[in-house]
Amino acid sequence: MAILIAFCVQTSFAQETGVVINGVTWATRNVGAPGTFAAAPESSGMFYQWNRPTAWSTTGSVSGWDSSNSTGTTWETANDPSPAGWRVPTMEELAKLIDATKVDFAFTTENGINGGRFTDKTTGNSIFLPAVGGRNNSSGDIVSAGVYGMYSSSTFYDINFCYGFSFSNSIIPYSDIGTKASGRSVRPVKSGSTGIYDVSVDTENAKVTGYFDILGRKLTEEPTKGIYIIQYDNGKTKKMMR
């Protein structure tokens, strides 16, 4: 840990308290190496493929790139690179961040780094997301560095694709569907920040992808008693009590 602090490369989760934007608590920095945050809000962090814990550099070429699409219908806790107490956001949470009726967006440059600043219209709280670009799904090559911000969600779309969102200096933030093998940035949310305080019953024809307790911790199976949250593959959640 002393080496990390001395070189100011990563930081521990204990130093991150997060910022509430439109009801969701967001980290102020991207995920760096697994289990750590990037050094500063404008630091690029590292790229991750969907439901894989391997970190990829945001610059230069890489070796050993896996161009296959990962299996599974949810980003499993064991593969989540976020620091303890944090997790990859759902598409529903990303949708809250890019909701133009409640959050202002501005493409800007901070400390020499291009990116987007998202500001809660009600509270004035804001976070900066660097426009790091991403890695091509087939080759692993860097694409759109400094031009596009490309961020992952934990929400499954189908066997080859997953949900996420993007923005650039000429395009306002929008939800998108990308290949699971693409490398994207991860901006985590605090565990338990959604699915407990913001639940939905819009779950018709949706498939269950996970169960969570009221603190946002994933459960191995559906509880037989108590209060818990069901998560669906459409990004919706429902609170249950037995």
User: Do 119 and 219 belong together in one domain?
Assistant: no
Q: Are 37 and 31 in contact (CB under 8 A)?
A: yes
The string of pLDDT tens digits covering residues 186-205 is 999 998 654 433 344 455 56
Six token digits for residue 72:
């599974």
Number of continuous H segments (helices) and E segments (strands) in the chain = 2, 18
Q: Are 163 and 192 in contact (CB under 8 A)?
A: no
User: Do 57 and 175 belong together in one domain?
Assistant: yes
Q: Which residue has the tokens 């598409």?
A: 91
Q: Which residue has the tokens 């694709």?
A: 161
pLDDT confidence bin for 4, thresholds 50/70/90: very low
Rounded to an integer, what distance in angstroms lies between the CA atom of residue 78 and that of residue 112?
35
User: Do 134 and 227 belong together in one domain?
Assistant: no
Any domain includes 199? no
User: Do 159 and 40 belong together in one domain?
Assistant: yes
pLDDT confidence bin for 5, thresholds 50/70/90: very low
Classify 204 as helix, strand or coil.
coil
User: Do 185 and 213 belong together in one domain?
Assistant: no
| Of 187, 167, 184, 186, nearest in space to 175 by CA | 167
Q: Are 131 and 143 in contact (CB under 8 A)?
A: no
Any domain includes 56? yes
Which of the two residues, 19 and 3, has the higher pLDDT score? 19
User: Do 174 and 141 belong together in one domain?
Assistant: yes
Which range of residues forms the domain containing residue 235? Answer: 208-241
The string of pLDDT tens digits covering residues 206-224 is 788 888 765 566 788 888 8
Percent of the chain scoring above 70 in pLDDT:
83
User: Do 76 and 15 belong together in one domain?
Assistant: yes
- Residue 228, pLDDT score: 73
User: Do 112 and 232 belong together in one domain?
Assistant: no
Over range 141-150, report the average pLDDT. Answer: 97
Would you say residue 15 has pLDDT above 70? no
Average pLDDT of the chain? 86
Would you say residue 231 has pLDDT above 80? no
User: Do 99 and 63 belong together in one domain?
Assistant: yes
The string of pLDDT tens digits covering residues 76-119 is 999 999 999 999 999 999 999 999 999 999 999 999 999 999 99
**Domain count within the chain:** 2
Classify 36 as helix, strand or coil.
coil
- The pTM (predicted TM-score) of the whole model is 0.76
User: Do 177 and 217 belong together in one domain?
Assistant: no
Any domain includes 22? yes
φ/ψ bin of 160: left (φ > 0), alpha (ψ from -120 to 50), beta (otherwise): alpha
- Residue 203, pLDDT score: 54
User: Do 221 and 173 belong together in one domain?
Assistant: no
